A and B are shown apart, each in its own frame.
Chain A
Amino acid sequence: MTATEPATQATTSLNTVTAVTVDAKDPKRRLRSRPVRGSRPGWFVYTALAVVLGSALFPYYWSLLIGSGDAGTIRDPNMSWLPGGNFIENALTVVNDPAVNFWRALWNSIYSSALIALSVVFFSTLAGWAFAKLKFKGGKWLLIFVVATMAVPMQLGVVPLYILFADLGWTGNIGAIIIPALVTAFGVFWMTQYIQQSVPDELLEAARVDGANSFRTFLTVGLPAARPAAAMLGLFTFVTAWNNFFWPFIVLDRSDPTLPVALSLLQSNHFVDYSIVLAGVLLSTIPLLILFVFAGKQLVSGIMAGAVKG
């Protein structure tokens, strides 16, 4: 091969070796014409993927293992690799701990995350539609500005936000974690990208010729086209809001937490008995696991769809 010349290795060898030389070397190769990517991969790929899947699952299993044992399980050198029988008991300890407020936290997490997701989807779709399909002065620059703010860390806003909410007397109120999350720059960026690609300009023109005003066009053309992207955005926003810790931890009262904050309380109360902590961890993860079962496919395609544009 031409790779003898070290300086021009990788690309040149691949580029300058022409089909002619290959034909001369191995005439059978062309006749076979096996599709390069069409063939099924060998055991190595599946083994590697199985290892990856195993390590993705293991922490879940480990929390089940410890969470279904008792305080001594972790210290037992001959620990069984099968779950014990104490999970229900540990879970009951978690939900009945008055300092943790588990049910309250669960409800707070569900309704704040749902509200945040709905709000982000609503405002992002409106703004995304305008940025993607309507021409207006300064639109391009506004969009660039919005995208640029995505690089700003959340830490940059927490001090004034805290002062603001303390002023209003809202610290400890669940509203204090909903309001700052009502809109995100990412949401607008996402919807703009999607609508730009999925709604052809001809469709807008057609609606206009039919006499539809701008809002009607949005309702009849924009919304139906944006629905898949809106669903994905809603999912991601929900998961992010559900898992968010930094700001809720700062602003919420210990008596009215979200699930991650409740988990931190659980840890400080029960650090001597990890079976209870990990039972709580598993318990708090179940809602999102259920969501994952139903919407995991959407999450996967959402990440992959966003990536191509990003």
Chain B
Amino acid sequence: MTSTKTAPPSAPSPQQARPDRTERTPRRIAFGHKLSKWDLKLSPYLYISPFFILFAITGLFPIAYTAVISFMDWDLVRNSGTFIGFDQYVYVLTQPKFWIALRNTFSIFLLSSVPQLILAVFIATMLDQNIRAKTFWRMGVLLPYVMAPVAVALIFSNMFGDKYGLINTLLGNIGLPPVMWHSNAFASHIAIATMVNFRWTGYNTLILLAAMQAIPRDYYEAAAIDGANKFRQFTAITLPSLRPTLIFVIITSTIGGLQIFDEPRMYDQFGTGGANSQWLTISLYLYDIGWGQWNFGRAAALAWILFLIILAIGVVNMLVTNRLVRDEGSRDGRSRRDRRAAAIAARTELEHRVGGTVRDDFGSTSTGAATSDTNDKTTEVAR
């Protein structure tokens, strides 16, 4: 860059550039300098304001206004509402259909997210090997992602046909009775979850793969030297390192999964969630209330209920994940006091062993982790 002409040639770092500037200012505050000062102060707001203006209109206002409408009996003809308090919430929560929809949404969500996550971790582990044609396999895994959920739903609802579907034909070929993929509620959840899994497993695989590749390879080498087999390496190194990413994936799939609409809507040609609401989901129910029964107050109330559910599940998810995938190596997930205690314990332990078994960097850090782990165990026992 041309900066070398004006700045001292040593290094154009901020520390060195600053005295240069203060030297100049006392001379005369030129109009240009005043301008540039305003430029620095104002321009950030100019950059973000187009986004925020649009965001306020299309994103924030509707959210706030949904809250207002949810407390109203909305009149479509007058295009305004009368305030009725929590009546719409009470109405929605007392509908048996709402509880069926809630059950279905959760059932589909669990059936899609749990196997999907396990599969994604597995496939990511395969892709993380030193395979040939990496890009080819990665692209192959992502292929389902570009297909619209509506298209996926149409293909799978055909494959899961009750009478002539591919799956039932295959089941028949191996001598099993056909499954009523549409009339049986649980079976329909499996079919819909399969659509979700088809489209999203590859996507999440790549996210997990990226996280796996960020794990320093020395860890594995050291573990292998210590005699840990592949499985042990996976449970002791890979899984704990994936924890933040797993939480991220779980939270995003919660937000997406609880909103599911496209797949159940397209599962049959009527789009009402089945004759007995077998696969009615909350979003589908919201659509039915809003644009089938044209009751916007109730639809708004249901939208808020859905949002609160998502928030609650997000929090629960975080707690559960924190517990399930406990991180043993790094600092996350433990209180500062615990970490400090562990560090002190590790240091004393190290001082005991100096020159003995501790050989290199990795050895020392891992001893620390090991000690802290036993510390955790003892505190748990003490409790």
Query: Which chain B residue has the least Cβ–Cβ distance from A250?
Result: B291
Q: Which residue of B lies closest to A139 (CB)?
A: B44
Chain A residues within 8 Å of B255, by CB = 150-151, 153
Q: Please tell me if the beta carbons of A56 and B202 are within 8 angstroms of each other in the complex.
A: yes
Cα–Cα distance between A48 and B63 once the two chains are bound (Å): 45
Q: Which residue from B35, B135, B198, B217 sits with its C-beta under 8 Å from A300?
A: B135
Q: Which of A84-92, A225-233, A263-271 contacts B (4 or more CB under 8 A)?
A: A263-271
A37-B149 contact given A56-B143, A157-B66, A278-B155, CB 8 Å threshold:
no
Q: Is A308 an interface position by the 8 A CB rule?
A: yes
Contact mask A1-40 → B, CB, 8 Å, 1/0?
1000001101111111111101001000110000111111
Neighbouring B residues of A82 by C-beta, 8 Å: none
Knowing A20-B359, A29-B225, the reply to whether A205 touches B62 (Cβ < 8 A) is: no
Q: In the complex, which residue of chain A has the Cβ closest to the Cβ of B230?
A: A36
B236 touches A14 (CB 8 A): yes
Q: Are the C-beta atoms of A260 and B148 separated by less than 8 Å?
A: yes
Chain B residues whose C-beta falls within 8 Å of the C-beta of A181 in the assembled complex: 58
Q: Tell me, in angstroms, the Cα distance from A130 to B304 when the chains sit together.
A: 32
A142 close to chain B: CB less than 8 A: yes
Find out whether the CB atom of B130 lies under 8 angstroms from the CB atom of A213.
no
Of the residues A13, A74, A155, contact of B158 by C-beta under 8 Å:
A74
Question: If A183-B54, A259-B148 touch, does A304 touch B314 (CB 8 Å cutoff)?
Answer: no
Is A267's CB under 8 angstroms from B266's CB? Answer: yes
Interface size class of B (residues with CB under 8 A): 35 or more
A300 to B138, CA, bound (A): 7
Instruction: Report how far A57 CA is from B50 CA in the complex, Å.
Output: 42
A285 CB-CB contact with B under 8 Å: yes
List chain A residues, Cβ under 8 A from B214.
308
Report B-chain residues with C-beta under 8 Å of the C-beta of A157: 58-59, 62-63, 66
User: Main SS of chain B's interface residues?
Assistant: helix
Complex alpha-carbon distance, A127 and B43, angstroms: 11
B235 touches A53 (CB 8 A): no
A52 at the interface (CB under 8 A from B): yes
Given contacts A157-B63, A209-B12, A245-B262, contact A59 B147 (CB under 8 A): yes
Binary contact track A247-262/B, C-beta < 8 Å → 1, others 0: 0011000000001100
**Contact of A308 with B130 in the complex, beta carbons under 8 Å:** no
Residue pair A281, B151 in contact (C-beta under 8 Å):
yes
Query: Interface extent on A, as a size class?
Result: 35 or more
Q: Known contacts A142-B48, A153-B307: does B148 contact A289 (CB below 8 Å)?
A: no
B373 touches A36 (CB 8 A): no
Q: Is A98 an interface residue (CB 8 A)?
A: no
Contact status of A160 and B290, CB under 8 A, knowing A245-B150, A284-B148, A285-B147: no
Chain B hits for A242, CB < 8 A: 148
Q: Which residues of B contact A158 (CB under 8 A)?
A: 62, 290, 303
**Which residues of the partner chain A approach B351 to less than 8 Å between Cβ atoms?**
none
Nearest A residue (CB) for B373: A11
A142 to B48, CA, bound (A): 10
Q: Is the CB of B7 within 8 A of A209?
A: yes
* A129: B residues at CB distance < 8 A: 47
B28 at interface, CB cutoff 8 A: no
Within 8 A of B (CB), among A279-310: 281, 284-285, 288-289, 291-292, 296-297, 299-300, 303-308, 310
Q: Is A185 an interface residue (CB 8 A)?
A: yes
A163 at the B interface (CB under 8 A):
yes
Residues of A contacting B142 in the complex (Cβ-Cβ under 8 angstroms)? 292, 296, 299-300, 303
Binds A, one of B95-103, B109-117, B159-167, B181-189: B159-167
CB distance from A236 to the nearest CB of B (A): 10
Do A20 and B148 touch (CB < 8 A)? no
* Contact (A278, B220) CB under 8 Å given A159-B303, A291-B146: no
Given the complex of chains A and B, what is the CA–CA distance between A250 and B265 in angstroms?
Answer: 12
Q: How far does the alpha carbon of A53 sit from the alpha carbon of B290 in the complex, in Å?
A: 40
Q: Which of A8, A46, A124 contacts B51 (CB 8 A)?
A: A124
B17 to chain A, nearest CB (A): 5
Task: Say how far A218's CB is from chain B's closest CB, in angstroms.
Answer: 7
CA gap between A218 and B40 in the complex, in Å: 12
A59 to B161, CA, bound (A): 14
Encode contact with A along B221-235: 1 for CB under 8 Å, 0 otherwise. Answer: 101111110001101
A292 CA to B96 CA, complexed, in Å: 44
Least Cβ–Cβ distance between B314 and chain A, in angstroms: 7
Please determine whether B146 and A179 come into contact, CB atoms closer than 8 angstroms: no
For chain B, residues 169 to 220, give those with C-beta under 8 angstroms from any C-beta of chain A. Answer: 169, 198, 202-203, 206-211, 213-214, 217, 220
A134 touching B226, Cβ below 8 Å: no
In the bound complex, how far is the Cα of B199 from the Cα of A243, in angstroms? 12
Answer whether A310 and B207 are a contact pair too, CB < 8 Å, given A41-B131, A300-B139.
yes
Contact, CB under 8 Å: B306 / A18: no
Q: Is there an interface contact between B374 and A12, defined as CB atoms closer than 8 Å?
A: yes
Which chain B residue lies CB-closest to A20? B357
- 8 A Cβ contacts from B319-336 to A: 328-329
9 chain-A/chain-B pairs, Cβ below 8 angstroms: A1-B227, A14-B232, A17-B227, A22-B225, A35-B221, A40-B130, A57-B140, A245-B150, A297-B135
Given A14-B232, A52-B123, A152-B63, 14 additional A-B pairs, CB 8 A: A11-B329, A14-B366, A49-B126, A52-B202, A62-B159, A152-B59, A180-B62, A202-B14, A205-B14, A206-B1, A207-B1, A214-B43, A263-B151, A304-B209
Tell me the B residues contacting A by CB distance below 8 Å: 1-3, 6-7, 12-14, 17, 20, 35-36, 39-41, 43-45, 47-48, 50-52, 54-55, 58-63, 65-66, 69, 79, 122-123, 126-127, 129-132, 135, 137-152, 154-156, 158-159, 161, 164, 166, 169, 198, 202-203, 206-211, 213-214, 217, 220-221, 223-228, 232-233, 235-237, 245, 248, 251, 255, 258-259, 261-262, 265-266, 269, 271, 283, 286-287, 290-291, 296, 299-300, 303-304, 306-307, 310-311, 314, 328-329, 357-359, 363, 366-367, 369-370, 373-374, 377
List of 6 A-B pairs having minimum Cβ-Cβ separation, nearest first? A157-B62, A206-B3, A130-B47, A304-B210, A136-B44, A160-B65
